[in-house]
Structure 1
């Protein structure tokens, strides 16, 4: 079976897409996976326009213009399809996280007390958002001075935050490990974030009591689980849990929407040009 070599238009279009993918925003404040926000959409617009320009210069013949345009849409559509799914951005700067969400609410855990077993699951609220916290062998209230934290009864249990209400697109807080007495101990924390695209894993190393980590999903967060890295015996702990709604970036259309719209306009233009080229005038 012979394999058709790609046309000039297809090859150039694919090269343009690859070059513009390299310009996508990989986490100015953390790790972006991989397309989000207005800058990502703008990059796709430019890439689509460049592809259309290359097709225009390919000179395939007026009768082939429509097929060429549709053929050149294929490499762009393949890459765009991968970028149209949900994305998760990790923030280790609290100010940047707050700027990426809307209407933040905070659960300070001040009602839990210190060194208190509180069972599982429990229903909590952070501002206008509701959620459920759970751990297999129960949760524990901890704290030091005026600071209050949520931890687990068993060191190896993860804490899972789920059943969010109010439209939660961002979740963050102060995450760190504690020892048997509820005191801070140096170590790492493993995270798993679940959204419409699946699960995303992240590890925070050398966490301190002021180590902020936040996650923002373009599709909304379904659950957030975290556990202590067991270098010895350490309990997962969180303070000042912050939840938030969709930020301004959530109002930007997906790259696939931009690309299809632009390619559609190009196809209409090509059809109109072909119609003009084949119209003749007869004189009596």
Structure 2
């Protein structure tokens, strides 16, 4: 094998191994996030829920997930949140290749009124973001990842309030994974090698 082909093969294999390292991007607006999600995403606005379905299970568009909290869930008819104060809300993605997730994340008091407190969102790939929304309008956070997103945990430790989500979108990131680029590189290297042999 020629040195240049060895180099291309080594580079492609390096990219393939790099795909095992998670790299997430955080978006602060729904419009920006949705521009990085391929068509066919599923959005749940939780409107009209007087009590959450058993297990907090939701599905649509080939995607499914379960929302849970230690002391069960609370549905206001407009958002889905924890039933008790100071508890984390966990979303576990159970179906579909989820590499993009976005939502309005915020806290409320017992009267369902928005509260401006610090929130922390943690993805299973190690991505952690902490922010303090000043209203529901700036409470949106979206995430795209180069690896599958299997869970998300939202918390507001010490706030003595309830955390909740609204307008939750799950889908697939429009950004190719490093492994896709590596496969394209291998294909290009093969084409170059085949062309050199026929010349």
TM-score (ref. length: structure 2): 0.76
Does residue 98 (structure 1) correspond to residue 34 (structure 2)? The answer is: yes
Match of 1:238 in 2: 165
Q: 1:88·1:217 contact (CA, 8 Å) conserved in 2? A: yes
Q: 1:175·1:207 contact (CA, 8 Å) conserved in 2? A: no
Q: 2:105·2:140 contact (CA, 8 Å) conserved in 1? A: yes
C-alpha RMSD of matched pairs (Å) = 3.4
**Post-superposition CA distance 1:207-230 (Å, at most 9, x none):** 531221112234443222211243
Cα distance, 1:239 vs structure 2: 1.4
| 3-state DSSP of counterpart to 1:164 | strand
Bigger relative CO (Cα 8 Å, ≥ 6 apart): 2
Cα distance, 1:120 vs structure 2: 6.9
Distance 1:127 1:107, change over 3 A: farther
Cα distance, 1:151 vs structure 2: 1.3
Unaligned stretches of 5+ residues in structure 1: 1-64, 277-284
Residues in 2 aligned to 1:89 and 1:156: alpha-carbon distance in whole angstroms: 27
Residues in 2 aligned to 1:84 and 1:127: alpha-carbon distance in whole angstroms: 26
Cα distance, 1:235 vs structure 2: 2.2
Matches within 5 A, 1:3-82: 66=2, 68-69=3-4, 72-73=7-8, 76-77=11-12, 79-82=14-17
Larger helix percent:
1
Residues in 2 aligned to 1:226 and 1:239: alpha-carbon distance in whole angstroms: 13
Distance 1:105 1:262, change over 3 A: closer
Structure with bigger gyration radius? 1
Does residue 110 (structure 1) correspond to residue 52 (structure 2)? The answer is: no
Unaligned stretches of 5+ residues in structure 2: none
| 3-state DSSP of counterpart to 1:262 | helix
Aligned partner of 1:203 among 130, 137, 140? 130
Q: 1:170·1:215 contact (CA, 8 Å) conserved in 2? A: yes
| 3-state DSSP of counterpart to 2:120 | strand
Moved more, 129-138 or 247-256: 247-256
TM-score (ref. length: structure 1): 0.56
**Post-superposition CA distance 1:8-65 (Å, at most 9, x none):** xxxxxxxxxxxxxxxxxxxxxxxxxxxxxxxxxxxxxxxxxxxxxxxxxxxxxxxxx8
Q: 1:104·1:127 contact (CA, 8 Å) conserved in 2? A: yes
Aligned partner of 2:102 among 166, 172, 177? 172
Aligned partner of 1:84 among 9, 16, 19? 19
